[in-house]
Amino acid sequence: MSSEPFRDDRLPQPLLEAIAARGGVRSFPANAILINEGDTTESLYIVLSGRVKAYSAGDSGREVVLNELGPGEYLGELSLDGEKRSVSVKTMEPTTCCVVQGADLREVLAQHPDFALHLTHKLIRMVRRLTGQVKSLALQDVYGRVVRVLMELSEPQGDERVVRARLTQQDIADRVGSSREMVNRIMKELTVGGYVALREDRQIVILKKLPAAW
């Protein structure tokens, strides 16, 4: 068993191959529902290509996005407790997954202790991230939450930061629990102020340090 903590939600290649050997590969189009909140299925999905989002929706249809996952990451592990699914999962683009059934997943955990360790570290990171989201919703205004999302989803490139995913204003609104109109106002003022720009490929670029308050 590895003595080093796993610092990434992506499975190391040896573990991915070992787990994938117990499942079947399936391809899904964009906007396909993999998991519905409240389902009692037990499958684990390993993303091989494409991208998916985990979200919760209210009776009005409004969504709150909780996480996004890409190649090497997995979802559905919370079904190990036998309870209903706590979130829904939808593909954001054409996606290929390895699907491992619940009984096989429990065997994998028994045979590969490193996977149990990886899962533990992933769940710890998830609890910390969701705690941060709850604190943000409770203690920050919409501007503060928008800044938090932009910083979390971006990475440095020279003197700038580039948001990895191509987010629409509605995508940002779904993550911060606000309306698209409010996000539009904030992004417009940040653009006019020379803080952010939108590339031709629709990626958001943070040009300089964002103001502490709006």
pTM for the structure as a whole: 0.70
Q: What pLDDT was estimated at residue 2?
A: 47
In the prediction, which pLDDT does 6 show? 65
Pairwise CA distance, residues 98 & 29, whole Å: 15
d(CA 49, CA 27): 9
Is position 213 within any domain?
no
Which of 137, 162, 187 represents a domain boundary (last residue)? 137
CATH of the domain at 145: 1.10.10.10
Q: Is there a domain that residue 118 lies in?
A: yes
State pLDDT tens for residues 87-108. 999 999 999 999 998 888 888 8
Query: In the sheet where 33-35 sits, what is the strand order?
Result: 33-35, 88-91, 52-57, 63-69
Q: Same domain, yes or no, for 90 and 153?
A: no
Identify whether 174 is part of a domain.
Answer: yes
What is the count of structural domains for the chain? 2
What confidence score (pLDDT) does residue 106 get? 85
Q: Are residues 55 and 125 in the same domain?
A: yes
Instruction: Report d(CA 111, CA 168) in Å as an integer.
Output: 42
**Number of C-beta neighbours around residue 182 at 10 A:** 17
Query: pLDDT below 50 — which residues of the chain?
Result: 1-3
Token readout for 107 is 């065997």
- Write down the pLDDT at residue 1: 44
Whose structure tokens read 């573990």?
A: 15
Contact (Cβ atoms closer than 8 angstroms) between residue 49 and residue 145: no
Pair (184, 202) in one structural domain: yes
Looking at residue 28, what is its pLDDT?
97
* Domain interval for residue 102: 13-137
